[in-house]
Structure 1
């Protein structure tokens, strides 16, 4: 009888722990969704004479879709956790 009660109590404690840890994970996900990501963006623009002009700036990104929409005509060269390198080839007009 004592063993059955002990198993029952352990089962309840483990279930509670699992539920609490899954809720903590959900709160962490919500935490990240509330704050923007800040990226160092390096823009490499090719000129008519073949030179590449580089501009570095920081972008605050609230929605990834908006960021990629803004740079839709740029080619992704490299992406790291906090840095994105984009290149725009020279376009004859």
Structure 2
């Protein structure tokens, strides 16, 4: 009985909260924009002038790299604005700035330009920004039992295996996964 009363009370409070938000929004001249995934508020310009926004685009790549692009945009139609970015996930919005995010099914431009697979002194398969012997680690994956590798594979890892495509990235990870001594996934 007590559990049912708690559920009913929480449902009632949620319904009242939604009603109050709708009432406040309607009374303040704020327009609710977008689908359920991107509900947020904007104030309408009273004089018909376009709305000037800073639009931030965050791209998250397979290798964990995040890039950010900032664009200043003049918005005359909120409906067109939301339609233009409907493939992006809304992360944050206020009166002057909108932040969108997208997961990109590819490796980052940084990896394509200067990424190398290699191993640390501890034998952890890692991606380096440049050749492994003198560069910083971008991402670490798992420890490898180097003794089980054929000498050619050992040499490749020591000198660095360049990463140019997503397919090659996946292929190298799959090649060395059987030599893993544990799963330290992530960085």
TM-score tier, shorter chain, comes to: 0.5 to 0.7
Any unmatched runs of 5+ in structure 2?
Answer: 1-44, 107-165, 167-187
Match of 1:78 in 2: 92
Q: Report the aligned-residue RMSD.
A: 1.9
Structure having greater relative contact order (Cα 8 Å, sep ≥ 6): 1
Q: Which residue of 52, 64, 79 corresponds with 1:65?
A: 79
Confirm or deny that 1:41 pairs with 2:60.
Answer: no
**In the aligned structure 2, how far is the partner of 1:47 from the partner of 1:77?**
17
TM-score using structure 2 length? 0.31
Q: Which residue of 82, 88, 91 corresponds with 2:102?
A: 88
TM-score using structure 1 length? 0.61
SS in 1 for 2:80: helix
Higher helix share: 1
Any unmatched runs of 5+ in structure 1?
Answer: 1-30
Residue-by-residue CA offset, 1:41-74 (whole Å, 9 max, x unaligned): 1100112311110001111100001111110010
